[in-house]
Amino acid sequence: MAHAFGLLFSGDPETWGIIGRSLIFSGLATFFSLIPGIPLGIFMAWKGSKPRRALATFIHAISALPTVVIGLFIYSLISRSGPLGGAGFLYAPAGVVIGQFFLATPLVASVTYAGVSRLDTRFKETLVTLGASPWLEFCATMREAKTTMLTSAVLSFGRVIGEVGVSTMLGGNIRGFTRTMTTAIALDAAKGEFEQALSLGLVLLIISVVINTAANRLADHA
């Protein structure tokens, strides 16, 4: 354990590279996932019509899919032998970010959906009565459900930074390129280097605590 801390604070550039890569890949994936995820969630929550409820069920179902399944789908798309193979995304950072994006988006949509559904129905009715355009309605809902959006971002960041299936399958765990905290932990544990693995595990724990604390603070102020 002492050795684990030592590794961390000795400023080993490889370890810090791994940590930085994890944060950047997962940060980007989360950021991009908010763009379609939030509108999708709001759209699902607005009216309780049948197709929308079906969509919501579908989104809930995917947000519970194991990461390796998502990884497999994306793999078949971005492999050279797949339809999007020409871009060379597989075994590159782009592959990891794309995979994590598809992991995060349904989760963002689900959480947004749940949050917006809880808003007072009179809120929406008032907007409609006042003759708000759908766009204005959308913006007003976003403002009203700020905390929800934040929660969805934190939750999906938490999911993608802690996942190992997509990162391994699409990134290939390439040293200095696509190796992230979780794939490094898996590799270290596989090699029996538990101290190294443990030190990265500690970092993940710290990140998780920091992010959740910050999110709680922000939610209190929002």
Partner 1 sequence: MKSRISIIFMIAAGLVLGTVPSAWSQNQRIKLATTTSTEQSGLLAWMLPVFEKQSGYKVDVIAVGTGASLKIAENGDCDIVLVHARSLEDAFMAAGYGSERRDVMYNDFIVLGPENDPAGIRNAGSAIEAFSRIAGKKAVFVSRGDNSGTHVKEKEVWQAAKIIPAGSWYKEAGQGMAQVILMAGQMGSYTLADRATWLAVKKQSPDLAILFEKDPVLLNPYGIITVSPEKWPSVNVAGAKALMDFFTGPTGKGLIESYKIGGEQCFFLSI
Between 202 and 218, name the residue whose CB sits nearer to partner 1. 218
Phi-psi region of 119 (alpha: psi -120 to 50; beta: other; left: phi over 0): beta
Residues 199 and 8: beta-carbon distance below 8 Å: yes
| Shortest Å distance, C-beta 4 to partner 1 | 16
| Shortest Å distance, C-beta 23 to partner 1 | 8
Between 37 and 59, name the residue whose CB sits nearer to partner 1. 37
Using CA atoms, how far residue 138 sits from 67, 131, 135, 218, in Å, is 31, 13, 5, 22
| Shortest Å distance, C-beta 121 to partner 1 | 26
| Shortest Å distance, C-beta 54 to partner 1 | 33
- Residue 110, C-beta contacts closer than 8 angstroms, at least 6 positions apart: 41, 56, 59, 60, 63, 152
| Shortest Å distance, C-beta 108 to partner 1 | 14
Q: Where along the sequence are the contacts to partner 1 (CB under 8 A)?
A: 23-24, 27-28, 31, 79-81, 85-86, 88, 90-94, 172-175, 177-178, 189-192, 218, 221-222
Between 44 and 166, name the residue whose CB sits nearer to partner 1. 166
Q: What is the DSSP string of 120-148?
A: -HHHHHHHHHTT--HHHHHHHHHHHTHHH
Between 85 and 201, name the residue whose CB sits nearer to partner 1. 85
Amino acid making up residue 27:
G
Between 17 and 162, name the residue whose CB sits nearer to partner 1. 17
